[in-house]
């Protein structure tokens, strides 16, 4: 079983957590920078994870960085952006073979620490600007990602619904920012913002190793002593602002399938109760929404539910025929009403607990998932272990789930109406 050691501060606004599990044969390091979002910085935030893992001052090209990682027994060094309420997290993750298994006795951990710290604190930049061609390539990758997002109509529908629900807050900004903002990014502006992030971000470092590696905390503490730190305050709990009336927006595009996304908000529901509610209502193939809308009544092609814990919202989205739009909305309301009335089985409750326990057990088989689960707990302030959460789920009652469902308030509805579908109907 993994053994988590108490987190400690290794610098101003820098928290370090170590998890040891002897079953792993490799090590994993996650360095997360928490940042505030705004329209001007969102696109640069999306660019930086790709840019900073592509090269560094020591390995100033993608080819050299890739070769170095290959020589370290095919180690990985990847970056990604995750949205957290109104803020975001730039996550840099490295994984490498544990030193005990190096064929020539190489100090792999020390070498990976040099690579990661070098990439973050000494990036591929000169004269206050990131260098080409790596900057130009990563910027084009970002523009391509934004273009691809436009072609994913389900994702587009969810982003438009989020923009409608979170209007006026940073959470309404698209994950990768806008294309117009991305086109304007300069090497100088990106480097300037990264230097600001190094100074002001709250930094979470999590390590999963099969054996003690005290040098990791020491190396990061030493490296960041050279950075003039003034960390900002972050609170990831940012509830959706209540609206006086439900916002409804519709857009028509020449697509073959109408999309519907309905957003509901709530004020405060215990995490374990919300997990049970979401599982019973829409997370699984035997949940009420899927069974009734898709399987029994054939009103949709798919029906999914997503929960944003930090924004206190749930999203229900469906792919439908335009002619069934009103029937779908009525059936969603009917299934929500069923949960409010406690009209679900004991078997559904038990399955919800077992699914969570199964996923939690599976997470412990992966160093990446183990680190992500720990970092999620730290970020939310809910430090209960998966085992403790499983037990909390078992204690949730039918009445608690029903009362939680009554707290869900309709907030926003976005409809992507298929023009092509309507034209075909008119032709008939």
pTM of the predicted structure, to 2 decimals: 0.90
CA-based end-to-end distance of the chain: 63
Q: What mean pLDDT is predicted for residues 37-42?
A: 94
Question: Domain extents for the chain?
Answer: 3-224, 247-427
Cα gap 402→226, rounded to integer Å: 54
Largest CA distance in the chain: 74
Q: What mean pLDDT is predicted for residues 116-127?
A: 98
pLDDT exceeds 50 at position 428: no
pLDDT in tens, 234-263: 988 999 888 889 999 999 988 889 999 999
pLDDT score at 378: 87
CATH 3.40.50.720 assigned to domain 247-427? The reply is: no
| SS3 at position 248 | strand
Report yes or no: 370 and 19 within 8 Å, Cβ to Cβ: yes
pLDDT score at 86: 94
pLDDT score at 150: 81
pLDDT exceeds 70 at position 14: yes
pLDDT score at 325: 93
pLDDT exceeds 60 at position 346: yes
Q: How far is CA 351 from the centre of its chain?
A: 25
Q: How confident is the model at residue 2 (pLDDT cuts 50, 70, 90)?
A: low
Q: Is 338 exposed, middle or buried (0-12, 13-18, 19+ CB in 10 A)?
A: middle
Phi, psi (deg, nearest 5) at residue 213: -140, 75
pLDDT exceeds 60 at position 50: yes
pLDDT in tens, 125-147: 999 999 999 999 999 999 999 99
pLDDT in tens, 382-404: 888 889 999 999 999 999 999 99
Q: What percent of the chain has pLDDT over 70?
A: 96
- CATH annotation of 3-224: 3.30.830.10
Cα gap 202→360, rounded to integer Å: 27
pLDDT score at 421: 53
pLDDT in tens, 196-219: 999 999 999 999 999 999 999 999
Measuring CA to CA, which residue among 216, 192, 46, 187 is closest to residue 117?
A: 216
- Altogether, the residues listed in the chain come to a count of 428
Calculate the dihedral angle through the C-alpha atoms of 39, 373, 233, 56, rounding to the nearest 10 degrees: -60
pLDDT exceeds 70 at position 427: no
Query: In sequence order, what are the residues at sequence separation of 6 or more whose Cβ sits closer than 8 angstroms to the Cβ of residue 181?
Result: 39, 40, 42, 43
Sign of CA dihedral 121, 122, 123, 128: positive
Q: Is 400 exposed, middle or buried (0-12, 13-18, 19+ CB in 10 A)?
A: middle
DSSP code at position 273: H
Q: What percent of the chain has pLDDT over 90?
A: 82
Q: How confident is the model at residue 52 (pLDDT cuts 50, 70, 90)?
A: very high
**pLDDT, mean over the chain:** 93
Q: How far is CA 350 from the centre of its chain?
A: 27
pLDDT exceeds 90 at position 226: yes
pLDDT score at 292: 92
Stretch among 45-49, 204-208, 334-338, 358-362 having the lowest mean pLDDT: 358-362
pLDDT exceeds 70 at position 1: no
Q: What mean pLDDT is predicted for residues 32-55?
A: 96
pLDDT score at 243: 87
Report yes or no: 44 and 190 within 8 Å, Cβ to Cβ: yes
User: Is the model more confident about 365 or about 306?
Assistant: 306
pLDDT exceeds 50 at position 423: no
Measuring CA to CA, which residue among 233, 225, 185, 238 is closest to residue 51?
A: 185
| Whether the domain at 3-224 and the domain at 247-427 fall into the same CATH topology | yes
């Amino acid at each position: 079983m993994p053994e988590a050691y108490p987190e400690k501060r290794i610098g101003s606004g820098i928290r370090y957590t170590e998890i040891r599990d002897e079953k792993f044969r490799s090590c994993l390091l996650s360095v997360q920078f928490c940042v505030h979002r705004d329209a001007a910085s969102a696109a640069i935030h999306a660019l930086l994870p790709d840019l900073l893992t592509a090269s560094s001052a020591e390995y100033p090209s993608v080819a050299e960085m890739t070769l170095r990682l290959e020589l370290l027994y095919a180690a990985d060094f990847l970056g990604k952006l995750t949205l957290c309420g109104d803020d975001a997290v730039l996550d840099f993750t490295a994984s490498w073979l544990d030193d005990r298994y190096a064929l020539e006795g190489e100090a792999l951990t020390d070498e990976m620490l040099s690579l990661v710290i070098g990439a973050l604190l000494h990036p591929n930049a000169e004269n206050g600007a990131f260098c080409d061609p790596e900057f130009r390539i990563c910027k084009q990758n970002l523009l391509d990602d934004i273009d691809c997002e436009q072609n994913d109509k389900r994702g587009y529908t969810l982003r438009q619904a989020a923009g409608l629900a979170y209007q006026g807050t940073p959470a309404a900004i698209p994950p990768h920012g806008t294309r117009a903002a991305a086109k304007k990014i300069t090497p100088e502006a990106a480097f300037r913002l990264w230097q600001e992030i190094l100074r002001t971000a709250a930094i979470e470092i999590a390590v999963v190793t099969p054996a003690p590696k005290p040098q990791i905390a020491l190396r990061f503490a030493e490296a960041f002593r050279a950075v003039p730190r003034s960390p900002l305050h972050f609170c990831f709990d940012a509830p959706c602002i209540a609206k006086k009336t439900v916002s409804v927006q519709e857009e028509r595009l020449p697509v073959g399938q109408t999309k519907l996304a309905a957003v509901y908000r709530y004020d405060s529901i215990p995490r374990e109760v919300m997990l049970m509610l979401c599982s019973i209502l829409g997370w699984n193939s035997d949940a009420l929404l899927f069974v009734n809308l898709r399987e029994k009544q054939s009103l949709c092609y798919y029906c999914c539910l997503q929960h944003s814990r930090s924004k206190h919202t749930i999203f229900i989205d469906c792919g439908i025929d335009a002619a069934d739009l009103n029937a779908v909305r009525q059936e969603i309301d009917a299934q929500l009403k069923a949960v409010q009335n406690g009209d679900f089985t004991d078997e559904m409750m038990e399955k919800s607990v077992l699914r969570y326990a199964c996923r939690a057990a599976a997470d412990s088989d992966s160093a990446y998932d183990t680190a992500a689960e720990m970092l999620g707990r730290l970020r939310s302030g809910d430090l209960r272990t998966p085992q403790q959460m499983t037990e909390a789920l078992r204690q949730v009652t039918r009445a608690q789930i029903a009362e939680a469902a009554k707290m869900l308030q309709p907030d926003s509805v976005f409809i992507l109406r298929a023009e092509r579908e309507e034209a075909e109907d008119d032709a008939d």
